[in-house]
């Protein structure tokens, strides 16, 4: 119920209560006043005053006293009525206050109930909102987890696919590299085989050529050897003849010293100059007799010039001649 309607109802009830209490108080006052006015008339037991001879002053005093007594009685009655009315008013006020207290208590209870209901409602709404919030947060968290799980799965699938793709590419590269390596190895082996074959062929040709050259060289060497042998034989003959001629020339002019013991020998080296002239005569092995050795040297120089060969080989052979002379006695 709205607060405005509740207040209107409470004001209406309070107004009605005040009106009823007012009417009740008016009825009590009216009843009291009626009783005060009628009692002197209805008092049948009032004693009959006998007529006595009294003075006016006493009479007046007695009347005054009676009046005062009546007034006192009336006052007491009024006071009793007033007390009663006051008690009634007090009781009514108390009742009113009690009613107000009860109404206030009822109102407070209702307000407390309403407040409690409001708090309970607010609490319920708050709890509902909190539950909805928790539910939403839980749903959000579950969605986040689900999204994360999906993202992780997607990422893992992508990673797996990328790895598979990379592995496939790697395998393909490895396969191509292996094939290339195998092809290169095959080509290299073929090349090496061809090179070995060519080398073997070249080696065979070289050996054949070398063999042929060796045979030719051997034949040539043999021929040269034969020729050299023939030349050497001829040269040896010429050299022997030349040596014999030179010796004969020397011995023809050699004046052997007298008194020289037989068997003395002197070995000399004779350096021939171009044209057959003698350069240097060196005694290699003396006889022990200087005169004999000197006679040999003089004979060599005296016999010059000697025959000088045209052949270079012979010239080389006779450029330094070693000869031994013996005194036979």
Rounded-to-integer distance, Cα 294 and Cα 254, Å: 11
pLDDT of residue 1: 56
Q: What is the rounded CA–CA span in Å between residue 73 and residue 289?
A: 223
CA dist 315 to 200, 304, 307, 309, 320, Å? 50, 16, 10, 6, 9
Higher pLDDT among residues 151 and 198, named by residue: 198
Contact between residue 296 and residue 214 where contact means Cβ atoms under 8 Å apart = no
Q: Are 103 and 10 in contact (CB under 8 A)?
A: yes
Distances (CA, A) of 117 to 52, 131, 206, 250, 261: 87, 20, 124, 172, 177
C-alpha count within 13 angstroms, C-beta hemisphere, residue 310: 0
Better pLDDT: 35 or 227: 227
At 41 the pLDDT is 45
> Has residue 13 got a pLDDT over 80?
no
Confidence (pLDDT) at 280: 92
DSSP secondary structure, 154-196, as one string: HHHHHHHHHHHHHHHHHHHHHHHHHHHHHHHHHHHHHHHHHHH
The model's pLDDT over 42-91, given as tens digits with 9 standing for 90+, comes to 555 555 555 555 578 888 898 899 898 888 898 888 888 888 888 888 88
Mean pLDDT across 310-314: 83
Query: What pLDDT is attached to residue 39?
Result: 44
In this prediction, residue 35 carries a pLDDT of 43
Strand order through the sheet with 320-326: 278-285, 265-272, 320-326
pLDDT tops 80 at residue 9: no
Give the chain's domains with CATH numbers.
Answer: 254-326 (3.30.1150.10)
Average predicted confidence (pLDDT) for the chain? 80
Q: Could you give the CA distance from residue 152 to residue 58 in angstroms, rounded to a whole number? A: 130
Residue 78, C-beta contacts closer than 8 angstroms, at least 6 positions apart: 32, 36
pLDDT for residue 248: 92
Look at residue 34 in the predicted model and tell me its pLDDT: 47
Q: How high is the pLDDT of residue 101?
A: 87
- What pLDDT score does 285 carry? 92
Share of the chain above pLDDT 90, in %: 4
User: For the purposes of burial, counting CB atoms within 10 Å of the CB of 111, is it exposed (0-12), middle (13-18) or buried (19 or more)?
Assistant: middle
Question: What pLDDT digit, counting tens, does each position of 115-144 carry?
Answer: 788 888 888 878 888 778 888 788 888 888
The label of the residue with tokens 């065979």 reads 204
SS3 41: coil
Statement: residue 269 has pLDDT above 90: yes
Q: Give SS3 for 128.
A: helix
Residues 172-183: tens digit of each pLDDT: 887 887 888 878
Residue 206 to residues 27, 63, 220, Cα–Cα distance (Å): 169, 197, 19
Q: Looking at the predicted structure, is the pLDDT value of residue 259 above 60?
A: yes
């Amino acid at each position: 119920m709205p607060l405005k309607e509740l207040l209107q109802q409470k004001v209406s009830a309070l107004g009605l209560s005040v009106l009823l209490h007012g009417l009740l108080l008016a009825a009590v006052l009216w009843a009291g006043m009626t009783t005060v006015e009628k009692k002197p008339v209805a008092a049948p037991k009032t004693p009959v005053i006998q007529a006595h001879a009294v003075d006016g002053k006493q009479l007046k005093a007695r009347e005054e006293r009676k009046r005062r007594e009546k007034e006192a009685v009336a006052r007491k009655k009024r006071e009793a009525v007033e007390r009663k009315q006051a008690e009634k008013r007090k009781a009514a006020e108390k009742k009113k206050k009690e009613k107000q207290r009860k109404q206030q208590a009822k109102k407070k209870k209702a307000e407390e109930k309403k407040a409690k209901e409001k708090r309970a409602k607010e609490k319920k709404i708050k709890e509902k909102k909190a539950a909805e919030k928790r539910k939403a947060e839980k749903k959000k968290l579950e969605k986040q987890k689900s999204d994360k799980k999906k993202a992780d799965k997607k990422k893992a699938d992508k990673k797996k696919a990328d790895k598979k793709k990379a592995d496939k590419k790697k395998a393909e590269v490895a396969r191509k590299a292996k094939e290339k390596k195998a092809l290169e190895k095959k080509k290299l082996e073929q090349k090496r085989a061809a090179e070995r074959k060519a080398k073997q062929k070249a080696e065979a040709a070289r050996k054949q050529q070398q063999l042929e050259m060796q045979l030719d060289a051997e034949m040539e060497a043999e021929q040269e050897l034969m020729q050299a042998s023939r030349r050497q034989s001829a040269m040896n003959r010429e050299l022997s003849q030349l040596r014999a001629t030179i010796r004969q020339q020397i011995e023809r002019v050699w004046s052997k010293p007298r008194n020289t013991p037989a068997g003395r020998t002197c070995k000399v080296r004779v350096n021939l100059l171009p044209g057959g002239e003698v350069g240097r005569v060196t005694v290699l092995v003396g006889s022990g007799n200087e005169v004999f050795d000197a006679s040999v040297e003089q004979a060599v120089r005296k016999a010059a010039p000697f025959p000088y060969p045209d052949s270079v080989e012979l010239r080389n052979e006779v450029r330094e001649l070693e000869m031994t002379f013996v005194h036979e006695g």
